[in-house]
């Protein structure tokens, strides 16, 4: 199989050159800012993609599930940060990974969670590395950096004073500024990046001032990583979606549609000529239900349409989607669409750029890797928990 | 494994008793209306579920992809309607299924598609069974029932007059009234069911009056199936989501939340007590990005929360979702939520009812089948194309 024409649709296409450029851009930027890059592998869930990131200079990976930790550890990735608050039920699994040689780091943001892991560690004579999650933007989990709670959680990981410094499970702090996804414009993104940095560094300083160890200061999201002007006090950055980019990132000004490495190849299966509709086999099962651009100034529907070669067809979007039907329309409606059955005959192949790469990629079991219209191969991705 | 407590989360739970009641209800209703039931298996994509439907009296199945056709045919289901317009590229695959003994029926809604299959059939000396898709509600694909186009498509399937009657590939008409998902109240649903019936039957009558064969009149959606008062002239009904139901169906009045057979088991992983937030490991990866109730009078967020036993916790919904984080809130906000860390301690297990069963089920590789809190087993579902 060497041609796109041999691929059944819908299919997830991965543009190798675009991905390689995205990896190089982020790695170069982190190098310039003097911090390590720990990519979040939840976007691609693909060993080959993570290997490219590692080969480009990334140090360690970030995961969102212990399933990801297992898959990547089995493939030789042993420095893994599990960036979702550790439920007590998962402590045994985390310890099992540690015993097998995985340098797994886990995250807590409450005294209860800290006590649970500290108690389990004593019982099992283990010394897991624990980071405290810091809330730097109010959008999800984490401890406020100025709170008394921060020090309480820190102390719950291993006692007070000298003993704590030597025996604490605490190794650092981490934060994810998801609010960056709602920023508009360079200034707002730069300000959010600085907020993420400053608040997380402040939390680290308070822990250290209280005599607690805190070597790691881990921050990140794709927008804040690319818009940070300085990262003083930060030791590593985590970012995920940059490896593919998507229309939400393009809407933020983080990339252009031409940078997006993931697209869904679809086939025209019908028309409603009077309405200017082109029906394709790329429904929400292929695109996901993610409508991330709905809240942005330019709503891209379920995706922005390109020709089979990947060139954007300006103003053509997947306006509606059913399970296995996409309805492609021109933004200008039927009048602007013209004779759709003539322009996009039955069987025409179209690529669609996704709102949210993490969600769209998750609908597919593998990527068809393409370079200049040629198929290079098939890379598996995994799913589930 | 006999207890829910042994299940890792997030996990898709299938309540066997609720599913069996849903299957019996639909089959009984179709029997009372004197039509055959051809369930759409795209909701569950699960052999065991389809076998229950068949054992209850269903005749044949409906699929949305040829992958589904292959999976079900391999398991002994041989009467299959592929309900998505046949792309020319798929004709060879469809013929291959026919040659292997699958009684596959395919759908066209244009002269171009009809000519493509008629020409391929002549070339391959095949006689595929073809239905014309009828547009009864303007929501997606299909030919208007009163149009000249209807007869043109019919004739494109096999010539005119006596020859057509004996040699046409045409076997019937089919429609899916997706607009029923936007109806509010019994009267509107009954009216939509009658519109779907009347317009599809009218199309069949016009084809027959033109000397064309049209034995099958296939209609359906879960809401119109359950609200139809008569189905004169209809030979079979297709419905899918009824097998699990979901919050969109509950919002339409088609079922109650207590009828919903699919739920996602999640674990509490943290809190933001001041905001009244409960963080769980049930994010959009487990629930899907489907927000079908957003357009309904009662927006259920990413899902309605139940306790581990499945009893609805009124007014608690998954208000926001990230990939592996759900944020559960009370509709009344922090004041109404009370002390969330006390009410839902770390490690608490909650079930969440989905907006859209087809989308949520698609995020999972199998169902954990439960009866009265006991795990009966694991049923696989398939995915991809």
Nearest to B84 among A86, A281, A327 (CB): A281
d(CA A91, CA A117): 7
Separation between Cα atoms, residue A330 and residue A334, nearest integer Å: 7
Structure pTM?
0.97
* Residues 115-134 in A contacting B (C-alpha not used; CB under 8 Å): 116
HSE, side-chain direction, 13 A CA sphere, residue B329: 19
How far apart (Å, rounded) are the C-alpha atoms in residues A36 and B203? 66
Q: The dihedral of CA A254, A255, A261, A264: what is its sign?
A: positive
In angstroms, the CA A366 to CA A90 distance is 28
d(CA B204, CA B145): 8
Q: How confident is the model at residue B110 (pLDDT cuts 50, 70, 90)?
A: very high
Q: How confident is the model at residue B164 (pLDDT cuts 50, 70, 90)?
A: low
Burial class of residue B34, CB neighbours in 10 A (0-12, 13-18, 19+) = exposed
CB contact under 8 A, A385 and B11: yes
How many Cα neighbours within 13 Å face the side chain of B139?
A: 17
What's the ipTM? 0.97
> Residue A127: which of A106, A109, A113 has the closest Cα?
A106
HEC string of chain A equals CCEHHHCCCCEEEEEHHHHHHHHHHHHHHHHHHCCEECCECCCCCCHHHHHHHHHCCCCCEEECCHHHHHHHHHCCCCEEEECCCCCHHHHHHHHHHHHCCCEEEEEECCHHHHHHHHHHHHHHCCCCEEEEEECCCCCCCCECCCCHHHHHHHHHCCCCHHHHHHHCCEEEEECCCHHHHHCCHHHHHHHHHHHHHHHHHHHHHHHHHCCCCCCEEEECCHHHHHHCCCCCCCCEECCCHHHCCCHHHHHHCCCCHHHCCEEEEEEEEEEEHHHCEEEECCCHHHHCCCCHHHHCCCCCCCCEEEECCCCEEEEEEEEEECCCCEEEEECCHHHHHCCHHHHCCCCCEEEEECCCHHHHHCCCCEEEEEECCEEEEEEECCCCC
Chain B residues touching residue A116 (CB < 8 angstroms): 346
In chain A, which among 169-198 make CB contacts under 8 A with chain B? 178
User: Is B4 an 8 Å CB contact of chain A?
Assistant: no
Tell me the per-residue pLDDT of B294-346, one tens digit each, with 9 for 90 and over. 999 999 999 999 999 999 999 999 999 999 999 999 999 999 999 999 999 99
Q: Which of A4, A63, A324 has the highest number of chain B CBs within 10 A, making it the mutation to test binding with B?
A: A324
Q: Average of pLDDT values for A204-208?
A: 98
pLDDT at position B162 is: 63
* Measured distance CA(A113)–CA(A124) in Å, rounded: 16
Say which of B281, B347, B358 has its CB closest to residue A323. Answer: B358
For residue A1, what pLDDT is reported?
Answer: 58
Using a pLDDT cut of 90, give the percent of chain A over it. 94
CB contact under 8 A, B140 and A327: yes
> Residue B224: enclosing H or E segment and its boundaries?
helix B222-227
The minimum CA-CA distance between B147 and chain A, rounded to whole Å, is 13
Burial class (CB in 10 A: 0-12, 13-18, 19+), B233: middle
Closest Cα of chain B to A12: distance in Å? 11
Give CA B343 to chain center in angstroms: 36
Residues of A in contact with B269 (CB under 8 A): 84-87, 141
Name the residue in chain B with its Cα closest to that of A319. Answer: B140
Q: Is A290 an 8 Å CB contact of chain B?
A: yes
Contact B144/A at CB under 8 A: no
Q: For residue A70, which residues of chain B lie inside 8 Å, CB to CB?
A: none
Q: Residue B161 pLDDT > 70, yes or no?
A: no
Which residues from chain A sit within 8 angstroms of residue B42, using beta carbons?
A: 323-324
Q: What's the token pair of residue A175?
A: 């934060």
To which residue do tokens 């009372």 refer? B32
Give the gap in angstroms from C-alpha A323 to the nearest C-alpha of chain B. 8
Task: Determine the longest span between alpha carbons in chain B, in angstroms.
Answer: 78
For residue A350, give both structure tokens.
Answer: 């179209």
Find, in chain B, the residue whose alpha carbon is nearest to that of A85. B269
**Which of B109, B156, B322, B327 is the mutation pick for testing A, counting most A CBs within 10 A?**
B322
User: How many C-beta atoms surround the C-beta of residue A28 within 10 A?
Assistant: 12
**Which of residues B3 and A324 earns the better pLDDT score?**
A324
As a whole number of angstroms, the distance between CA A88 and CA A247 comes to: 37
Of B9, B10, B19, which is closest to residue B369 (Cα–Cα)? B19
With an 8 Å Cβ cutoff, is B377 touching chain A? Answer: no
Taking residues A218-227, what's their average pLDDT? 97
Q: What is the rounded average pLDDT of the residues A120-145?
A: 96
| Subunit contact A324:B268, Cβ cutoff 8 A | no
pLDDT, tens digit, for every residue of B84-97? 999 999 999 999 99
Q: Do A279 and B88 touch (CB under 8 A)?
A: no
All structural domains of chain B: 17-244 (3.20.20.10), 257-380 (2.40.37.20)
The pLDDT confidence band at residue A4, using thresholds 50, 70 and 90, is confident
Report the phi/psi class of residue A44: left, alpha or beta, with left for phi > 0 and alpha for psi in -120 to 50: alpha
- Judged by CB atoms closer than 8 Å, whether chains meet at B269 and A84 is answered as yes
Chain A residues with CB-CB distance to B113 below 8 A = 270, 346
Say if residue A166's pLDDT is above 90: no
Residue B372: pLDDT band by 50, 70, 90 thresholds? Answer: confident
Three-point CA angle A61, A65, A69, nearest 5°? 45
B340 and A CB contact within 8 Å = no
Q: Tell me what percent of the residues of chain A surpass a pLDDT of 70.
A: 97
């Amino acid at each position: 199989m060497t041609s796109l024409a041999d691929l059944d649709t819908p299919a997830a296409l991965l543009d190798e050159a675009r991905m390689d450029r995205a990896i190089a851009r982020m790695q170069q930027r982190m190098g310039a800012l003097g911090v390590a890059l720990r990519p979040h592998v939840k976007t691609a869930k693909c060993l080959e993609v993570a290997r490219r990131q590692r080969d480009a200079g990334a140090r360690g990976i970030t995961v969102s599930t212990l399933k990801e930790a297992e898959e990547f550890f089995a493939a030789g990735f042993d420095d893994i940060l599990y960036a979702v608050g550790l439920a007590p039920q998962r402590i045994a699994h985390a310890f099992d990974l540690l015993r097998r040689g995985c340098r797994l780091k886990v995250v807590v943001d409450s005294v209860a969670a800290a006590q649970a892991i500290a108690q389990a560690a004593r019982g099992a004579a283990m010394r897991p590395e624990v980071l405290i999650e810091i809330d730097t933007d109010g959008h999800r989990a984490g401890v406020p950096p100025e709170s008394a709670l921060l020090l309480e959680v820190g102390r719950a990981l291993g006692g007070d004073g000298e003993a704590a410094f030597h025996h604490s499970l605490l190794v650092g702090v981490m934060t994810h500024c998801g609010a960056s996804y709602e920023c508009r414009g360079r200034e707002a993104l730069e300000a959010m990046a600085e907020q993420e940095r400053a608040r997380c560094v402040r939390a680290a300083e308070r822990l250290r001032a209280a005599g607690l160890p805190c070597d790691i200061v881990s921050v990140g999201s794709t927008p804040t990583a690319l818009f940070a002007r300085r990262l003083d006090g930060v030791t590593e950055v985590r970012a995920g979606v940059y490896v593919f980019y998507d229309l939400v990132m393009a809407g933020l000004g983080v990339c252009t549609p031409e940078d997006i490495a993931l697209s869904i190849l679809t086939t025209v299966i019908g028309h409603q000529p009077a309405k200017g509709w082109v029906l394709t086999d790329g429904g929400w099962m292929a695109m996901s239900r993610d409508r991330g651009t709905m809240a942005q100034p330019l709503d891209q529907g379920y995706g922005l349409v390109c020709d089979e070669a990947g060139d954007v067809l300006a103003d053509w979007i997947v306006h509606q989607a059913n399970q296995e039907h996409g309805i492609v329309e021109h933004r200008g409606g039927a009048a602007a669409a013209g004779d759709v059955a003539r322009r996009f005959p039955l069987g025409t192949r179209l690529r669609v750029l996704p709102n949210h790469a993490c969600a769209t990629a998750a609908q597919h079991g593998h990527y068809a890797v393409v370079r200049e219209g040629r198929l290079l191969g098939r890379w598996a991705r995994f799913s589930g928990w």
